[in-house]
Amino acid sequence: MNEARGPALLPPLVLLASVVAVGTIGYVTIEGWDAWDAFYMTVTTVATVGYREVHPLSRAGQAFTLTLVIGGVGTALYAFSALAAVAVEGGWKFYFKQWRVRRMLDALTDHYVLCGYGRIGQIIAEEFRRQKTPFVVVDRNADRVQRAEASGCLAVQGDASREDTLRAVHIDRARGLVAAVGTDAENVYAVLTARVLNPDLFVIARAESGDSMAKLKRAGADRVISPYQIGALQMAQTALRPAVVDFFEIATNSENLELSMEQVKIGPGSALDGHSLGDSNLRQKFKVVVVGIQRAGGSMEFNPSPETAMRAGDHLVVLGSPLNLKELERAGTGAGS
């Protein structure tokens, strides 16, 4: 999962456990002792404690003990040296951090996987935090991972195009993936791998060029965004229609607590499923404005009339206060109905 490594502790511990297991089985087989006596004799021999023998040894048992002393004492010293190295080098902190990260990853569900923590990735992560959306950062650069952790993000060092990395961040139960790695080639491979592991994943990819946008869509991205194109269009719209741009910034900026624009999905069997906008009385009941409806098939209806029916799978694009939008969302999903 994480390409960073602490002091190598597992191999010596496994080797020591293997020596103890072989010694225990050997005494049981050669001398016919019970498991506890065999285990006790093995540990005292390997640890060079020097207590008396549990039972008198046969010639074969003595030969086995000599072999155990020669092989086991060296293994024990190797394991104890590794433990000392872990303590001296601060390895316990590393292993505790790894354990804590695994616990947090195991608790993730319906989250986003953010691939890349460069300039674009940092802005995305900040917005996810403001929206209180669960996410995990994946980046192969150790310095970027440290910066992500320092800013309060859950982060994993690894290659986002590798299956083992995406499995470690539970791509199978993720809500979506944002491919914002530095190059288009890396983003293509990340999208391909994610799509194979989770066909239902909502995938957003960053593209540097027009050619890459087509490739990313063929790779399986649901949405492909070019930061340069978006930035240029934003500047042009600001020059031509500044009031319109200001309105959308207010409506979509999560720091504005008075007004917010959100999408609300209509769940099957909910209070809104099968009813028209007028019959549901959304404006009076929830104090929201329905800007548009994205149908389950993908088509968008702007400024729908009161007679427009809402169906399961549709998304309402609505404008209102965050509190009212939460109430509408509960009604749309059927929660509390």
Task: Return the CATH number at 273.
Answer: 3.30.70.1450
The answer, yes or no, to whether residue 252 has pLDDT greater than 70, is no
Q: Coil, helix or strand for 167?
A: helix
Q: Whole-angstrom Cα distance, residue 31 to residue 11?
A: 30
Residue 132's pLDDT band, with cuts at 50, 70 and 90, is confident
Pair (122, 195) in one structural domain: yes
Q: Give the mean pLDDT of 34-58.
A: 84
Pair (116, 223) in one structural domain: yes
Count of domains observed in the chain: 3
67 located within any domain: yes
Residue 234, C-beta contacts closer than 8 angstroms, at least 6 positions apart: 245
* Choice between 153 and 81, residue whose per-residue pLDDT is larger: 153
Pair (321, 278) in one structural domain: yes
Residue 1, C-beta contacts closer than 8 angstroms, at least 6 positions apart: 102, 156, 158, 164, 165, 168
Residue 12, C-beta contacts closer than 8 angstroms, at least 6 positions apart: 75, 78, 79, 81, 82
- Give the residue carrying structure tokens 């990313």: 216
The answer, yes or no, to whether residue 179 has pLDDT greater than 90, is yes
| pLDDT given for residue 335 in this prediction | 59
pLDDT more than 90, % of the chain = 34
Residue 337's pLDDT band, with cuts at 50, 70 and 90, is very low
Look at residues 88, 122, 142 and tell me which one is the last residue of a structural domain.
88
237 located within any domain: no
Q: Whole-angstrom Cα distance, residue 9 to residue 80?
A: 10
Q: Whole-angstrom Cα distance, residue 121 to residue 157?
A: 14
Q: What's the token pair of residue 31?
A: 């001398």
145 located within any domain: yes
Pair (114, 226) in one structural domain: yes
Pair (287, 322) in one structural domain: yes
The domain that holds 74 is classified in CATH as 1.10.287.70
Per residue, the 3-state secondary structure of 35-63, as one string, reads HHHHHHHHHHHHCCCCCCCCCCCCHHHHH
Q: Give the mean pLDDT of 264-279.
A: 89
| pLDDT given for residue 9 in this prediction | 63
Look at residues 230, 249, 267 and tell me which one is the last residue of a structural domain.
230
103 located within any domain: no
The domain that holds 147 is classified in CATH as 3.40.50.720
Mean of the per-residue pLDDT values of the chain: 84
pTM listed for this prediction? 0.62
The answer, yes or no, to whether residue 226 has pLDDT greater than 80, is yes
Q: Give the mean pLDDT of 261-275.
A: 88
Pair (177, 273) in one structural domain: no
66 located within any domain: yes
Residue 206, C-beta contacts closer than 8 angstroms, at least 6 positions apart: 116, 120, 178, 179, 180, 181, 187, 224, 225, 226, 227
| pLDDT given for residue 249 in this prediction | 75
Exposed, middle or buried: residue 275 (CB in 10 Å: 0-12, 13-18, 19+)? middle
Q: Give the mean pLDDT of 6-33.
A: 82
Pair (122, 203) in one structural domain: yes
Which domain does 301 fall in, by range?
258-333
List, for residues 146-172, the tens digit of each pLDDT value. 999 999 899 999 999 999 999 999 999
Q: Give the mean pLDDT of 253-282.
A: 82
132 located within any domain: yes
2 located within any domain: no
| pLDDT given for residue 4 in this prediction | 44
